[in-house]
Structure 1
Amino acid sequence: MELRGKQKRFLRSEAHHLKPIFQIGKGGLNDAMIHQIGEALEKRELIKVTLLQNTDEVPEEVATVLEKQLACQVVQIIGKILVVYKPSSKEKFQNISTQVRGI
């Protein structure tokens, strides 16, 4: 599902107060971290990922890797912080996605 402009704006406003729960450091983005990000998206639907100063990763490249491997959407990239969204497949975790569908 491709997000419309109003839906992205809503998700950005929801993510404003969130703290990044994943940090990509000098080890880079590996399969284990991608798996953990996928599990966190299943439970939370909307998370922030930050890239530390000592990493060689580029935010846009990390965004494309996450979008390909997790079938999620990167809603926003500000500096080295990514806002990532994926609707949960479990109904009990679908808090944000039900609001997004209503927009």
Structure 2
Amino acid sequence: MALSNDQKKRFRGIGHDLKPVVTIGANGITDTVLEELRRALNDHELIKVKLAAGERDDRQAIVDYIVTHTQCEEVTRIGKITLLYKANRQANPKLSNIARHSKI
């Protein structure tokens, strides 16, 4: 299910103050990195990822790979930072960036 423009706008607002939880460097996507992304998305629902290496096309390929293999959605990307979202109906409210910011 694609995110609506209103959802994307809300998530960008939440994501503005987040720090990247995963950095993808010159080694690209490894199984360990993919597992960490899955864990972070499961715990936090909305995460920032820093793509520290590669050209624009390489970074796009990495994001496409992440989206495909984690079943998440890209909310936005600015330069080498991308914001990813994956809903978790059973997310811990103390860890979920969505739940924590919904109470504000």
* TM-score using structure 2 length: 0.82
Gaps of 5+ in 2: none
1:95 & 1:29 partners in 2: Cα distance?
A: 24
Match of 1:86 in 2: 86
- Alignment of 1:70 with 2:70, yes or no, is yes
Match of 2:54 in 1: 56
Gaps of 5+ in 1: none
Q: 1:49-100: per-residue Cα shift (whole Å, max 9, x none)?
A: 0011xx2362211221111101000101100101010011424346627x89
Worse overlay, 57-66 or 38-47: 57-66
Match of 2:44 in 1: 44
CA RMSD in angstroms comes to: 2.0
- Contact kept, 8 Å, 1:42 with 1:89, in 2: the verdict is no
Aligned-residue identity in percent: 33
